[in-house]
């Protein structure tokens, strides 16, 4: 069967730039890859045809020869072939890695190719820290103890006892990967003998047992800003677990838990206080003092106050940790019915009761009711 024009195969114009060529090929690869399109018997051939087209049009020199001389030019230059298997050389692998990455097994999954393990970032870790509400209100510096993995100092993360270097894995030749054929693909997978490291450790490090990693405990000084709330997270860059093979360390995420307070509660950025008052204070009014997390506040209770009345003092609540501004101190009045009355208190309430009945003009109440 006659070969189709490579531009026609990819559905790209001859004036297409490299990015447009890559995009066109990626669409074809995702559409016709046999692992994703097993129901279509033509999918494998279409994928092979598209990959062959990209291997030429995605390479500047090959594309120039093809544009000038066509298929015969590629064959005569020794840079093309009707046999698709020839396209899976190391240079062609780099072409496919550029566009497909690790999507179908290209890229770093090919192992070392003699390059050895690649640097890997250490894992992020999280730690919950409890603050009192006063600490969250004012901000506080605390020492936080963190337990995390780091590279063993004795073997420098290699896992072998000093003086006994690891041996090159005979199975993979030190590349850390082995190839297996899957249809028309040659797919790389981590070597099962050395677990992808390319090395065999005969004499494991006594300190880490050959793992190359040990647990480490570190104490950090952490500044918690005023206004932090329950559930807030703080990120400490580079304070997570140490990286592998000279990779950068992970990060530490501190999750804040704010304990409940006996007197105050938080609603958004408002500091809320329930102020208990007597009947006399509610009726006549009064001025009382309350100790907040910042200072002493004088609260003026207006005469004839009812339970649930709100007194708001601007700018005395929690700071907004993410921007300017501050919440309010919200005082909610609560009238409290007294218990364990003294004789004198009982007599006074009896008199008040009589006055209230007379004031209401309730003639249905008899003298016995007034006496009680």
Percentage of residues of the chain with pLDDT beyond 70: 81
Among 242, 258, 274, the domain boundary falls at 258
Quote the number of domains for the chain: 3
User: Looking at residues 212-224, what average pLDDT do you find?
Assistant: 93
Position 18 in a domain? yes
Whether 80 shows a pLDDT value over 50: the answer reads no
> Domain range for residue 19?
6-106
Do 243 and 131 lie in one domain? The reply is yes
Do 141 and 101 lie in one domain? The reply is no
Per-range mean pLDDT, top range of 28-42, 88-102, 302-316 = 302-316
Query: Quick one: which of 179, 173, 242, 240 has its CA closest to 213?
Result: 242
Do 245 and 317 lie in one domain? The reply is no
Position 206 in a domain? yes
Do 159 and 75 lie in one domain? The reply is no
Residue 158 in contact with residue 78, Cβ under 8 Å?
A: no
Integer-rounded Cα radius of gyration of the chain: 39
Whether 58 shows a pLDDT value over 90: the answer reads no
Do 76 and 142 lie in one domain? The reply is no
Do 144 and 94 lie in one domain? The reply is no
pLDDT for 365: 55
Residue 66 in contact with residue 74, Cβ under 8 Å?
A: yes
Do 251 and 272 lie in one domain? The reply is no
Do 82 and 161 lie in one domain? The reply is no
Stated as kind and residue range, the H or E segment containing 179 is strand 177-182
Do 250 and 270 lie in one domain? The reply is no
Position 231 in a domain? yes
User: Each residue of 332-342: pLDDT tens digit?
Assistant: 999 999 999 99
pLDDT for 323: 81
pLDDT for 33: 75
Whether 364 shows a pLDDT value over 70: the answer reads no
Position 101 in a domain? yes
pLDDT for 244: 85
User: Each residue of 110-167: pLDDT tens digit?
Assistant: 334 444 567 889 999 999 999 999 999 999 999 999 999 999 999 888 888 998 888 8
Stated as kind and residue range, the H or E segment containing 258 is strand 252-258
Position 186 in a domain? no
152-157, long-range: CB within 8 Å, 24+ apart, which pairs?
Answer: 152/205, 152/207, 152/208, 152/211, 152/212, 152/213, 152/214, 153/207, 153/214, 154/205, 154/206, 154/207, 154/208, 155/205, 155/207, 155/208, 155/212, 157/212, 157/213, 157/244, 157/245
Q: Give the CATH number of the domain where residue 78 resides.
A: 1.10.287.110
Confidence of residue 222 (pLDDT cuts 50, 70, 90): very high
| pTM as predicted | 0.59
Position 360 in a domain? no
Question: For the chain, what percentages of helix, strand and coil (3-state, to nearest 5) are there?
Answer: 30, 25, 45
Percentage of residues of the chain with pLDDT beyond 90: 46
Query: Quick one: which of 224, 316, 232 has its CA closest to 272?
Result: 316
Do 94 and 140 lie in one domain? The reply is no
Position 280 in a domain? yes
Position 118 in a domain? no
Do 248 and 288 lie in one domain? The reply is no
Q: Give the CATH number of the domain where residue 287 resides.
A: 2.60.260.20
Flag the least confident range among 8-12, 66-70, 185-189, 198-202: 185-189
Do 102 and 221 lie in one domain? The reply is no
User: Looking at residues 318-325, what average pLDDT do you find?
Assistant: 89
């Amino acid at each position: 069967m006659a070969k189709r024009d490579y531009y026609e195969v990819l559905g790209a114009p001859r004036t297409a730039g490299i990015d447009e060529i890559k995009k066109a090929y990626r669409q074809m690869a995702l559409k016709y890859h046999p692992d994703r399109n097993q129901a279509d018997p033509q999918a494998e051939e279409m994928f092979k045809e598209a990959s062959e087209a990209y291997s030429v049009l995605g390479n500047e020199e090959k594309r120039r020869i093809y544009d000038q001389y066509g298929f015969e030019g590629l064959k005569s230059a020794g840079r093309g072939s009707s046999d698709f298997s020839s396209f899976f050389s190391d240079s062609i692998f780099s072409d496919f890695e550029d566009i497909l990455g690790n999507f179908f097994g290209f890229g770093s999954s090919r192992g070392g190719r003699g390059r050895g393990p690649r640097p890997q970032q250490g894992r992020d870790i999280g730690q919950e820290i409890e603050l009192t509400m006063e600490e969250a209100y004012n901000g506080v510096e605390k020492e936080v103890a963190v337990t995390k993995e780091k590279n063993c100092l004795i073997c420098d993360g290699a896992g072998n006892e000093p003086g006994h270097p690891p041996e090159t894995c005979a199975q993979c030749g030190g590349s850390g990967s082995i190839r297996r054929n899957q249809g028309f693909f040659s797919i790389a997978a981590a070597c099962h003998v050395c677990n992808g490291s390319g090395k065999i450790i005969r004499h494991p490090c006594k300190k880490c047992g050959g793992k190359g990693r040990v647990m480490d405990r570190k104490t950090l000084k952490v500044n918690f800003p005023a206004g932090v709330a329950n559930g807030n997270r703080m990120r400490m860059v580079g304070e997570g677990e140490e990286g592998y093979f000279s990779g950068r360390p992970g990060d530490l995420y501190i999750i804040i838990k704010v304990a409940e307070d006996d007197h105050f509660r938080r609603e958004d950025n408002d500091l809320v206080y329930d102020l208990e008052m007597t009947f006399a204070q509610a009726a006549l009014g009064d001025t009382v003092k309350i100790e907040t997390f910042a200072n002493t506040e004088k609260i003026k209770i207006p005469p004839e106050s009812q339970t649930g009345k709100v007194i708001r003092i601007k700018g005395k609540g929690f700071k907004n940790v993410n921007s300017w501004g501050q919440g309010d101190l919200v005082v909610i009045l609560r009238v409290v019915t007294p218990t364990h009355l003294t004789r004198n208190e009982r007599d006074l309430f009896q008199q008040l009761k009589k006055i209230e009945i007379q004031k209401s003009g309730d003639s249905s109440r008899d003298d016995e009711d007034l006496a009680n």
